[in-house]
Copies of this chain bind each other. A is one copy, B any other.
Amino acid sequence: MAAPTQPLSINLATVREQWTLGEAVEACGRHGIGAVDPWRDQVAKFGLAESARAIKDHGMRVTGYCRGGMFPGATPAERQAAIDDNKRAIDEAATLGAECLVLVAGGLPKGSRDLREARKMVADGLAAILPHARASKVPLATEPLHPMYAGDRCCVNTLKQALDLCDALGDGTGVVVDAYHVWWDPDLAAQVARAGSRILAYHVCDWLVPTRDMLLDRGMMGDGVVDLPYLRNLVEKAGYRGAIEVEIFSAENWWKKPGDEVLRTCIERYRTVC
């Protein structure tokens, strides 16, 4: 398969242990990478205005802003606090010129075992922030997370679920297709096709065998078992022309390597594996 025509983007979680936001943006520029996706804690630490300036100075696209969501809460006050926080995230995304706000739904509220109720809270939370997102021209990109996170992190676990939410909510909503979270799904081809223009971002890394940690042991593209060319072909056929964004949480491997080595490897694998 030929190298991707979509541009490379670096989700800045990939080098979060090595660099500040400013250093990471500078390094991406130095390596010829033209797009990034920063996380809120990175932006908060470096400063919102400073982050926006660094991104602008390096002429970077911002392919997403990570992340809003986390809507379920045990009390109405907790749920309202999440809604308020998401509105702030929308404002930050607008300031940064992000192409979308990435949303991770959130898991079960403390003490709850009711996934159906948690899922309803997610739908309600999305509906509550959507007017502000539309007014701010920040599309809401719901990212289904792997089912192993259903309890504590994200109760939207399939692309079908995320698209059902988009169907219900309408304009200004879409999805993130992240290879790590969806590669196993028997319904993958049909749901990616269904997503069409609602694919707001495409994330890649790899699923390692064995996976030693459920959160922080993601692999570099090519080091695991995910058929990335197959998935890229699906998103291309669905009409996706956005970036290929590398997002790797790797506490024991990539986060311990020099940032420049990580970026060089991302570029090489993007060309040969993605």
Contact = CB atoms under 8 A, between A and B. Distances in A.
Interface residues of A, number: 31
A219 to B, nearest CB: 11
Contacts of A226: 113
Interface in A154-211: 155, 157-158, 160-161, 183-186, 207, 209-211
Given A113-B226, A152-B209, A214-B214, A186 B119 contact: yes
Contact of A147 (B108, B146, B224, B230): B146
A151 B186 contact: no
A49 interface: no
- Interface of chain A, helix or strand or loop or mixed? loop
Nearest to A210: B152
Nearest to A152: B209
Contacts of A150: 183-184
A227 B147 contact: no
Interface string A89-128: 0000000000000000000100011110001000000000
A73 to B, nearest CB: 16
Contact of A157 (B108, B152, B186, B224): B186
A44 interface: no
Given A150-B183, A157-B184, 4 more contacts: A147-B185, A150-B184, A151-B225, A157-B185
24 contacts: A112-B225, A113-B227, A114-B227, A115-B183, A115-B184, A115-B227, A146-B147, A147-B147, A147-B148, A147-B184, A147-B185, A148-B211, A148-B214, A150-B184, A151-B184, A151-B207, A151-B209, A152-B225, A155-B184, A157-B184, A157-B185, A161-B186, A210-B214, A211-B214
